[in-house]
Amino acid sequence: MSHPAVALRTLAAPRGFHIGTAVAFPHLRHNRRYAATLAREFSMLTAENTMKWAALRPDRQRYDFTDADYLARFAAANHQVLRGHTLLWHQALPAWLSSASLSNRQWENTLRNHIDIVVHHFRGQVQTWDVVNEAIDENKGCALRDSLWLAHLGPDYIARAFRWAHAADPAARLYYNDYGAEGMNRKSDAVYRLVSGLLEHGVPMHGVGLQMHVSPEDHPRLTDVARNMRRLGKAGLAVQVTELDVRLKTPVTPKKLAEQARLYRDILQICLDNKNCTACVTWGFTDAYSWVPGFFKGYDQALLFDAAYRPKPAYQAWTAALTK
């Protein structure tokens, strides 16, 4: 299958809608095909790992923006908007931080300085930040996840993180991002309560990211995803699908690829039909590089392009949905 004449980003542009993807280093730097596909097809980029603490904070004193700046320059050169991912998460923390012994006040200052410096650094470059990632724990009755941040700053850490991010870049759109809270369930109820509470207290936040790591046999009911988007919209929030991939059980067959294409199409269609949904972002774009086989044993080929950068049926399904 050769590349279609019109790229996804071009088809989405008239709707004011972004088709995005996560970007992995070192491929962006060293693989021209990777970079060319990225530039051609997508209008929104998320750093898969490059803006996480472990990447930006090699040691306590130093910030290393080398790769993240490279990505920001690439995005600017290709007229793409950036999603910053992520200011606060319980994972991808550098060892010096997870093993640090600090007073609660020092923990707070560490987080505050990080948010301040990183958000400042990318002012005018990062349009949207995932300020807080995965703070709700479905294995803890959907209460706040046990993390260093909760332990040392208390439950109010989320509100404070949003306020600090807003102070550092008042123009940035600020998101809460999570998985397993895409449809209507206990976890999305908890997210809804959390973000409504923040809004009631005047916390500056603008949207909720629905990660959407799914498979044909394990995905939220599509009507529920639409309902969830609508209730968040009524609360005044935007939503974005932030980490979409549709993993397939190996061995992958044409039938499974067709099922995958339908699910990709349906999820994009829900986004297009809900006016508060402003972007659909996949978690990588070529099956050559994806976290799926490493994380979901026995699954693979979750993305829009195969390992040789050929568009898959899922890609054709997106072209069709955007052309309708």
> Residue 120 and residue 129: Cα distance in Å, rounded?
12
The residue among 222, 223, 228 whose CA lies nearest residue 209 is 228
Which amino acid appears at position 241 of this protein?
V
For residue 49, state whether it binds ligand XIL (rule: CB under 6 A): yes
From residue 69 to residue 108, the character string flagging contacts with ligand XIL as x (rule: CB under 6 A) and all else as - is ----------------------------------------
Among 122, 164, 291, 305, binds ligand XIL (CB under 6 A): 291
Long-range contacts of 311-316 (CB under 8 A, 24+ apart): 311/1, 311/3, 311/4, 312/257, 312/260, 312/261, 312/287, 313/257, 313/258, 313/260, 313/261, 314/246, 314/257, 314/260, 314/261, 314/264, 314/265, 315/4, 315/8, 316/1, 316/4, 316/261
For residue 25, state whether it binds ligand XIL (rule: CB under 6 A): no
The residue among 322, 296, 295 whose CA lies nearest residue 304 is 322
Comparing CB distances to ligand XIL, the nearer of 205 and 321 is 205
Residue from 41, 48, 182, 243 carrying the catalytic annotation:
243
**Catalytic residue at 134?**
yes
Pick out residues in 236-275 that bind ligand XIL (CB under 6 A): 243
From residue 202 to residue 221, the character string flagging contacts with ligand XIL as x (rule: CB under 6 A) and all else as - is ---------x----------
Strand positions, DSSP E, the chain: 18-23, 44-47, 81-88, 126-133, 136-137, 143-144, 173-178, 207-210, 213-214, 238-246, 248-249, 277-282, 299-300
Pick out residues in 139-178 that bind ligand XIL (CB under 6 A): none
Comparing CB distances to ligand XIL, the nearer of 7 and 114 is 114
CB of 284 to ligand XIL, least distance (A): 7
CB of 261 to ligand XIL, least distance (A): 22
For residue 289, state whether it binds ligand XIL (rule: CB under 6 A): no
CB of 285 to ligand XIL, least distance (A): 13
Comparing CB distances to ligand XIL, the nearer of 164 and 179 is 179
Comparing CB distances to ligand XIL, the nearer of 177 and 278 is 177
Q: Which residues of 163-194 are buried (b: 16+ CB within 10 A; e: fewer)?
A: bbbbebbeebbbbbbbbbbbbbbebbebbbeb
CB of 92 to ligand XIL, least distance (A): 6
Pick out residues in 117-136 that bind ligand XIL (CB under 6 A): 133
CB of 185 to ligand XIL, least distance (A): 18
CB of 24 to ligand XIL, least distance (A): 7
Angle between helices 222-234 and 186-200 (to 10 degrees): 10
The 10 Å Cβ neighbour count of residue 151 is: 11
| Contacts to ligand XIL by CB under 6 A | 48-49, 133, 179, 211, 243, 291
Kindly list the catalytic residues.
134, 243
